[in-house]
Amino acid sequence: MQPERDFDHELSYYAQPFMTRLRQAGALPSDDEETRQAKSLLVFATGLMSIATGLWLLLYWLTGPKLSSTLPFLFQVLLAANLAYYIHSGNFQWFRFSQLGLILFFPFVAQWSMGNFISGSGVILWALMAPIGAVFVLGLRESLPWFFAYIFFTALTGVFDFLLVDVAPTLDTTADVSLRTSVIFFALNFIAISGLVYALLRFAFEQKQRVRDQLGETMDMLTQEQIRSESLLLNVLPDSVAARLKIEGQRVADDFYSATVMFADIVGFTKIAGGLSAQDVFNMLNTVFSHFDDLVEKHGLEKIKTIGDAYMVAGGLDNRCKDPCSAMADLALDMQAALPRLSDEVNIPLALRIGISTGPVVAGVVGKHKFIYDLWGDTVNMASRLSSEGCQGVIQCDRRTHMHLESRYRFGERASVRLKGKGDMIVYQLEAKLAKRKRDSAESA
């Protein structure tokens, strides 16, 4: 997919007018910030070099020396032509190499055409802009060849000037020696000062890169911590609730007119825990409830909380599950089916009492510290009573849940039981899910 995106960016680049591309320094929409800065800098430097060349030639003419304008004019033409080619083609690799090459080589050509260091007024110093520019547009390592090329041409110029100065024999040998010495020290001073400038620039860039890397590491650590915090928050709260809580001052309280709530209790937990160490009790609950967590996630439901050995789940609080009542029934059956294996794993015989109720609930987050997402209402109380006052290995459902599931699941005989705070209630024992053929015949009946 990436080549197609790059191709689209190139099409949008070539669709722009030439002057628009020039104002944008030939930057593509796909360029990162560093590449954009490098392009802008080199285009800006090209303009400055062209202006500086014209001013340099003008000052020479005004102060006396009548230099040929052919070489400076050719330099300006080549800079402009290369810039125009880059803006037209978008080939930045060629542009930065060729433009830095022109900036490096032409000052030496200019000085060689004028004579030595003295007569050329040290015009080769302009060539230092090439390795300095390479630091900005290429990088520290890639700029080294440009700096060494500058040092090489400077030293070569000094050697030629030393060998060719005052070739004709003169009577003033002192002046001859003095001129040769000046040429040597011109070259040495240029090399030394240029080396110091380049070294300081490299040091500044290295420090900047080190700080940038440290900031990047810090940002990565902060990002990881944010992800960890988000993960912890999502382990405590549903996704939609967590998103609302992150908005300062957002109150979280919702009414749900048809939610399904389930409670599951471990039968005889108090007696079991009495014969185990605290660590063994924790390991047992962690093993059992961790498996239940996986089942809850599988069925698209929401684990609300655990209270001791009680495990609370709700459905219909979000859009993840289209039929929360059916999903809750499947979860309860899966939990019952997993008990033999879990009993073997913890080496303790386990049994569950499960209660399921369907109806309206209120859900929300109360308080500011150590808050949890909780449910309230008669539906919650009913599910809790169906669980706590049920029989071992039985999944008890209220009337609304039975009405929703009776055509797709097999139920035992309904029974009237007395529930604390509820009085006599009709409850139904969920036994299994009907096969598809039986479901179809039950629905048609």
Kindly tell me if the per-residue pLDDT of 120 is higher than 80. no
Percent of the chain past pLDDT 70, that is, above it, reads: 82
Domains of the chain: 31-221 (no CATH), 252-444 (3.30.70.1230)
What pLDDT shows up at residue 177?
55
What are the residue ranges of helices labelled H in 237-261? 239-245
The distance from CA 326 to its chain's CA centroid, rounded to whole angstroms, is 39
- Whole-angstrom Cα distance, residue 260 to residue 354? 13
- Whole-angstrom Cα distance, residue 429 to residue 67? 108
Mean pLDDT of 418-427: 81
Output the average pLDDT for the chain. 82
Kindly tell me if the per-residue pLDDT of 5 is higher than 50. no
More confident: 10 or 104: 104
The per-residue b/e assignment along 13-44, b for 16 or more CB within 10 angstroms, e otherwise, is beeeeeeebbebbbbbeebeeeeeebbeebbe
Kindly tell me if the per-residue pLDDT of 2 is higher than 50. no
DSSP secondary-structure letter at 168? S
Helix/strand/coil percent split, the chain, to 5: 65, 15, 20
Kindly tell me if the per-residue pLDDT of 239 is higher than 90. no
Mean pLDDT of 394-412: 93
Name the pLDDT band for 1 (thresholds 50, 70, 90).
very low
In the three-class reduction of DSSP (H, G, I as helix; E, B as strand; rest coil), residue 41 is classed as helix
The distance from CA 105 to its chain's CA centroid, rounded to whole angstroms, is 43
- Whole-angstrom Cα distance, residue 186 to residue 118? 8
Name the pLDDT band for 165 (thresholds 50, 70, 90).
low
Percent of the chain past pLDDT 90, that is, above it, reads: 28
Dihedral Cα 105, 109, 115, 121, nearest 10 deg: -50
More confident: 229 or 401: 401
Mean pLDDT of 125-144: 89
Q: Phi and psi of 300, rounded to 5°? A: 70, 30
Mean pLDDT of 303-315: 90
- Angle between helix 129-137 and helix 140-164 axes, rounded to 10 deg: 170
Kindly tell me if the per-residue pLDDT of 273 is higher than 90. no
Mean pLDDT of 28-57: 80
**With contact defined as beta carbons under 8 Å apart, do 53 and 72 qualify?**
yes
**With contact defined as beta carbons under 8 Å apart, do 187 and 154 qualify?**
yes
- Whole-angstrom Cα distance, residue 21 to residue 86? 10
Kindly tell me if the per-residue pLDDT of 320 is higher than 90. no
Q: Phi and psi of 221, rounded to 5°? A: -65, -40
Kindly tell me if the per-residue pLDDT of 168 is higher than 50. no
Query: Using alpha carbons only, how large is the chain's radius of gyration in Å?
Result: 41
**With contact defined as beta carbons under 8 Å apart, do 360 and 258 qualify?**
yes
In the three-class reduction of DSSP (H, G, I as helix; E, B as strand; rest coil), residue 249 is classed as coil
